[in-house]
Chains A and B, each alone.
Chain A
Amino acid sequence: MKTIHIDRENISSEEIQRFKDFKALLGNVSQPTFPKKTFYRTIWFNTITTVTVISIALIFYFTTFFPKSAIKETEKPKNSAFINPPVKAWDLRFTQIPIRKLNDTTITLISGSSVKLPANSLIDERGNIINENIILKVREIPSPAEMFLTGIPMAYDSAGVKNIFESAGMIEIYAFNNNKPLKINPQKPIEITLISKDANPAFNLYFLDTTLRNWVYKGKDKLNIEQALSEKPKSHISNILVDSISEIELVQVILQKPEPPRAANPNKWHFTLDLIKGEFPELDIFSKTTFEIDDTFKPLNKKHTQAIWEDATIKKGNVPMTYFVTFKTTKDSCTYLARPVYSLKEYYVAKAAYDSSLVQYQNLLNKQKTVQAKLNKQSIKKDTTIYVENSQPAIVTNYKIMRSFEILQFGIWNCDKPRFVKNERKIDPTYSIKDTLYRQTVYLADDKTNSIAIIYSNATLSFDRKANNTLWMVTYDNKIAVFSSSDFQSIPENVYRYTLNMRLIKKPIETSEDFIKLYQKGFKE
């Protein structure tokens, strides 16, 4: 099949020049050599070491105190197709939902996300209300796999500074009547609730303005965290019961203030223990408990962090949520005070759950005081005590994170925030598949931040050392070649020019589903 374009807009010489990069081309054919053992004795070594140390110190200083240093995506020419799926046959399909008659309708998608359309919320071009024969077209873009397939640009230009977005949920939505696009009645906004994996409250709401060719800030979404019904922790069931107990029972309850969650301090030593369920019920909410050493009790002996321990025993500390952990081998043992902590991502969920528990606790406490005062007047004494365990912060899997917002415009809506790279490394890349060199656009995804960057053929590859990076390219014959997160770990520290030897995926990819499955398996065939 062939497509004819008549009088396409001409490309200027200036624009073509922007694609030129001889150094990058040269980098593909000449790899630098690095001096061997005796190098450390030379003056070069001392100079380079000094410069490197100063550079690292400066980088550390700027990344710590000026966190605005963002990933810079290679500038994309302004006149190119703005939403450009890399392989048209893999473009993510829309779910089509026919609505015969629109009353107040809530449509729940397979993911659990929902779209709430009030009656009279849709209008045609002339402003007439359309309540019948509507086709809603929706697709969700929850992960870098879908971002890649749709070709939705994830770069955000804020006053000339380019950032990559990390997303906590994205949706593309349109409505049609007799194949004609509909608009949203300005008096009747549509409410969208996206299921999210990230409870960080720092995310904003953006709309992709295809005319401005940029994301437009639209405020903030409403973050709501609910317990997943199938996995309610016992302590939460207790709380629910508390809501329904009688006033007399309420005064008999000794309320326990919830403990705030703690985020892991990256500068401290951590270890993980698999605990027997029920042994420490307050820790059952952790899938795998990560402990952080509290060195105010006893300073950490670094030798202990390198030893291989055969056994560990755990005993509750005197302060809530502290534990004495004793590590043992047949010859040696040591004891430290430790606290369970959350990774930063889990922490936001736990913090939101804690905030909610705290509000519930305070409400109950106030209610208890009121009832107590009322009962005191009636001279009713409490004679029994019921202990109710309050909820501890919960883990991600136990909660349903939802982000809601109202829209007055169809298109692409994204709960996201610019991604800041803390441990940035830059290399001048060459991509190779089975000894053949390639100069191609590649895609760099990071699972942890749910983000994807497009690296054009001549661009420097900038990545976060500590991210879960996966890079792939689409070959001319629509195959995927991958450079995995473990491959990233093997890039030597002292190189700038580097050839990324990519693994060609043999399994044919014919649809978006094939790609998503492959991505979810970490590109393992």
Chain B
Amino acid sequence: MISIANKSNSRIGDEISQIELAKKNPHHFEILYNRYFESIFRFIYQRMDSKETTADITSQVFLKALVNIGKYTSQGFPFSAWLYRIALNEISNYYNQPNHNRVINIESIKLHDLVDELNTEETEEKLNALYQSVKNLEPDDLYLIEMRFFESRSFKDIGEIMSITENNAKVKVYRILDKMKQEVSKHIS
């Protein structure tokens, strides 16, 4: 499982002090930038076709974070969750524009987890139906499925990124899975 949270309290405390320093002097933002650049880049690239576009959006995310860091207040979530939320907004902005087709990247090895959850067999027909049902997902539902199954994130992390509780994340994911299951069986029949 990918985890966005910093486990130890001392690390969290350290991060808060770095954020406070960055509020006073943007040069101190560099530590945070170096720490999270790759994970934010990968998060965006997971939903993009091109590396250049990913680099542009990643830059935009950190620029927004740096410009708005003065307004940032820790609410018990890790700083990275705030960055992921900015990234989600930027991705949504990008795909809200005409001519930008949403890209979904799936590793076949991770597809098995989703297939298991759906209690279905891995026949070609069923996989095609599954792809179709993934394509039919609403944007927010797709984020949840991507994070849970294609990025193997914990419900806790998903909750933090989506600004919902861990339980709520779990409930939402299973509701979406039910919907997908129905869609797959409908498609096969």
Contacts and interface: CB of A to CB of B under 8 A. Distances in A.
B59 A3 contact: no
Which of A25, A26, A77: most chain B CB closer than 10 A? A25
Contacts of B82: none
Chain B contact patch, size range: 35 or more
A5 B97 contact: no
Interface in A319-376: none
Contact of B59 (A1, A88, A458): A458
Interface stretch (A113-121, A130-138, A435-443): A435-443
B150 to A, nearest CB: 10
A493 interface: no
A80 B66 contact: no
A297 interface: no
A506 interface: no
B104 A84 contact: no
Chain A contact patch, size range: 35 or more
A81 interface: yes
B34 A457 contact: no
A437 B68 CA distance: 12
Given A2-B102, A3-B102, A438 B55 contact: no
Contacts of B33: 20, 22, 25
Contacts of A89: 98-99
A248 B111 CA distance: 91
Interface string B6-38: 000000000000000000001101100110011
A155 to B, nearest CB: 13
Interface string A1-31: 1111111100101011101101001101110
Given A11-B45, A19-B55, A457-B59, A6 B108 contact: yes
A121 B170 CA distance: 64
Contacts of B42: 11, 16
A76 interface: yes
Contact of B56 (A25, A76, A440): A440
A274 interface: no
A366 to B, nearest CB: 61
Interface in B92-128: 93-94, 96-108, 111
A6 B51 contact: no
B81 interface: no
B47 to A, nearest CB: 11
A439 B57 CA distance: 8
A379 interface: no
Which of B41, B51, B60: most chain A CB closer than 10 A? B51
B101 A29 contact: no
A32 to B, nearest CB: 13
A26 B69 CA distance: 13
A478 interface: yes
Contacts of A456: 52, 55
B2 interface: no
Nearest to B109: A7
A19 B58 contact: yes
A44 interface: no
A22 B50 contact: no
B41 A19 contact: yes
B63 A4 contact: no
Given A25-B62, A457-B56, A2 B51 contact: no
A475 to B, nearest CB: 8
B134 interface: yes
B51 A439 contact: no
Contact of B37 (A7, A11, A20): A20
Interface in A45-80: 76-77, 79-80
Contacts of A11: 42, 45, 51
B131 A4 contact: yes
B171 interface: no
Nearest to B59: A439
A514 to B, nearest CB: 13
Contact of A29 (B67, B98, B103): B67
Contacts of B96: 477
A263 interface: no
Interface string A451-478: 0000011100000000000000000111
A27 to B, nearest CB: 10
A440 B60 contact: yes
A4 B56 contact: no
Contacts of A79: 51
A16 B105 contact: no
B103 A5 contact: yes
A13 B97 CA distance: 30
A517 B99 CA distance: 21
Given A29-B66, A29-B67, A80 B37 contact: no
A8 B150 CA distance: 12
A272 to B, nearest CB: 44
Contact of B135 (A4, A16, A476, A478): A4
B49 interface: yes
Contacts of B107: 6-7
B28 to A, nearest CB: 11
A26 B26 contact: yes
Contacts of B58: 19
A28 B97 contact: no
B38 A16 contact: yes
A437 B105 contact: no
Contacts of A81: 49-50
A500 interface: no
A456 to B, nearest CB: 7
Given A4-B104, A19-B54, 13 more contacts: A2-B134, A3-B102, A4-B106, A19-B59, A25-B59, A26-B30, A29-B26, A84-B52, A439-B60, A440-B59, A456-B52, A477-B97, A478-B98
Interface of A: 1-8, 11, 13, 15-17, 19-20, 22, 25-26, 28-30, 76-77, 79-81, 84, 87-89, 437-441, 456-458, 476-478
